[in-house]
Amino acid sequence: MGQTFSLGRLAGIRVGVNWSVLVILALLTLGLAEGRFPEAHPGDPAWLYWVVGLVTAAVFLLSLLAHEISHALVARHHGVKADSITLWLLGGVARLRSEAPDPRAELRIAGSGPLVSLILGALFAGLAALVRAAAGPGLAAEALAWLAGINILLALFNVLPAAPLDGGRLLRAAVWWRTGDPVRATVVASTAGRVLGWGLVALGLYLVLLGAGFGGVWLVLIGWFLAAAATLEGGQARLRELLSGVSVREAMSPDPVTAPASATVEDFLESPAFRYRHSAFPVAGDDGVPVGLVTLHDALRVPAGNRGTTRLADMMLPVEEIPTAAPGDPLDRLLPQLQAGPSRRALVMENDRLAGIVSSSDISRITAWLTSGTPWAPRP
């Protein structure tokens, strides 16, 4: 889920918002200002309902952010880099650069989000009780009570044992611990996700037929998303299983052409040295060590008038944000990092020397060969 605009960094993690958040913000505000608040406390000015509704909806989105940031921070504690967090229509997504190293870490990473939501629910419930005791029933207490309920509901929904929900990660951790096979664990969790997703779609359609309207449509939307995400996750697990036994060396494009960090964007675009079929090139410093990656797409985004003065070092993707691997590493273990990385590419290093580059097209080539029935001949 791509970012529409960035909110900056929180605890060193990029936080972004997708345009669809405006939809959920508007729907929540509308439902509170025109529904729950006037019904619970009639007689207040309409503008007050809308102001309190908007503030309450915004606080809920901050609660979603707290849920996702907890995943990222616990993942970081276990050595899993968190690239970014994006809020969107159906919640939030924390993009992790790799997988948990073991089932225990998976359990802690997955469980941190629902735990934070439960804590927030209890906190808002306590504040609602204090406000009622101090000032009596009112919009403030009603808003806090709603925030308590929605956070507890969020926690309970997320622990359902189905991918891509947090409960699916908990299920994956349990199966991984019992079987020792993370791929099989992912397949089990993704199957449960598809069952839950299509079940919600069926329930939503049934409610629509009964006249539930918006509630039924919302269930259909959530169920469709869960089923689609679980199907994608299951496909990735089967791909990892297919690639097991294949080394990075067998998939990489060896000895890639590098671009000097001191070169300008104009040099890069016009030099015959870079007119290859590739669309991305490692960028090397004066000592030949890779310092980043530049893509043709990013280079073309530099305004034409600035290309003669903008160096590749000024606009490249830094090497710290690019996955790296050794030639002998298993390809299936690199795959999650490759898919989560912003460039969808990984640099292959051998004795501090650039030995190759792996891209999504390299994965597709290997996959096509392995599924063709042709005997696989490993690269020496």
Any idea which residues carry the catalytic annotation?
68
User: Whose CA is closest to 185, among 196, 171, 195?
Assistant: 171
What does the alpha-carbon distance between residue 135 and residue 144 come to, in Å, rounded to a whole number? Answer: 13
- Least Cα distance to 154 among 83, 231, 146 occurs for 146
Across the chain, the runs of DSSP E, i.e. the strands, are 5-10, 13-17, 82-88, 91-96, 253-254, 259-260, 280-284, 290-295, 317-318, 324-325, 345-350, 353-359
Q: What span, in angstroms and rounded, lies between the C-alpha atoms of 243 and 252?
A: 13
Tokens of 29: 């505000």
Beta strand spans in 89-234 (E): 91-96
Is the preceding peptide bond at 164 cis, omega within 30 degrees of 0? yes
Rounded to whole angstroms, the Cα distance separating 241 from 233 reads 13
CB atoms within 10 A of CB 136: 8
Strands 317-318 and 290-295, how do they pair? antiparallel
Q: Lay out the sheet containing 5-10: strands in order across.
A: 5-10, 13-17, 82-88, 91-96
Angle of CA points 6, 9, 14, to nearest 5°: 65
Count of Cβ atoms closer than 10 Å to residue 307 Cβ:
18
In three-state secondary structure terms, 366 is helix
CA atoms within 13 A on the CB side of 119: 11
Q: Tell me the one-letter amino acid at 31.
A: G
Residues 6+ apart with CB under 8 A from 33: 46, 49, 50, 52, 53, 54
Neighbours of 8 (CB within 10 A): 8
